[in-house]
Copies of this chain bind each other. A is one copy, B any other.
């Protein structure tokens, strides 16, 4: 996927410390975020769509892709750039048919079987989930760890977005192990200064040889 190399923000309105999602995303854009995934697991459809419509112009103006978690209908209605799909979401083939060849489709892989099945799928990246244990997502499988990430890197033809327990502390190792992008939720949404948090994470990429 063109462009998803760098810092990838997965939103969680509830973790934004009372700030609006649009303000956190605007800070992240100024700081050099590479991609934003809007994730809303409890909002009614209309409000989820309104969130997507609010983020779209901020990201489009900066040429940054907006992806929607799970919901192909929200992506279509909001004119988002694509979707991020979990293993219980719509099958990738169905999403591709609805979204077209240019849409960005990401797929979470939580087991080795997921990884091998993904090899022949028309997806733009794999979300390697979770790398470490994380409080923001409790329904995930055994963490991949750095070794698991490296193993997927050696096998997969797809770009890899690492997610789960990532921060500036471990980002350099994650990148070294083969991640094209590092996805974070609370490390940005709950940061005292989201702009500074993104800058620090971006620097982890700049520091790579």
A residues at B contact (CB < 8 Å): 44-47, 49, 70-74, 76-77, 86-91, 94-95, 97-98
- Measured between alpha carbons, how far is A89 from B87 in the docked complex, in Å? 24
In the complex formed, the residue of B with least CB distance to A89 is B45
Residues of B within 8 A of A98 (CB): 73, 76-77
A71 to B98, alpha carbons, bound, how many Å?
14
Q: CA separation between A86 and B91, bound complex, in Å?
A: 26
User: How far apart are the CA atoms of A77 and B75 in the complex, in Å?
Assistant: 14
The closest CB in chain B to the CB of A53 belongs to B94
Tallying the copies of this chain within the complex gives: 2
Q: Whose C-beta in chain B lies nearest to the C-beta of A77?
A: B94
**A94-B49 contact, Cβ under 8 Å, with A71-B73, A72-B77, A73-B76:** yes
Q: How far is the CA of A98 from the CA of B70 in the complex (A)?
A: 17
* Identity of the chain B residue whose Cβ is nearest the Cβ of A46 in the assembled complex: B88
Neighbouring B residues of A90 by C-beta, 8 Å: 45-46, 49, 73, 77
Give the Cβ gap from A137 to chain B, nearest Cβ, in Å.
14
A-B contacts, 13 listed (Cβ < 8 Å): A45-B88, A45-B89, A45-B90, A46-B87, A46-B89, A46-B91, A47-B88, A49-B90, A72-B77, A73-B76, A76-B98, A77-B94, A77-B97
Residues of B near A87 (CB, < 8 A) are: 46
Most chain B CB neighbours (cut-off 10 Å) among A70, A73, A94, A97 = A73
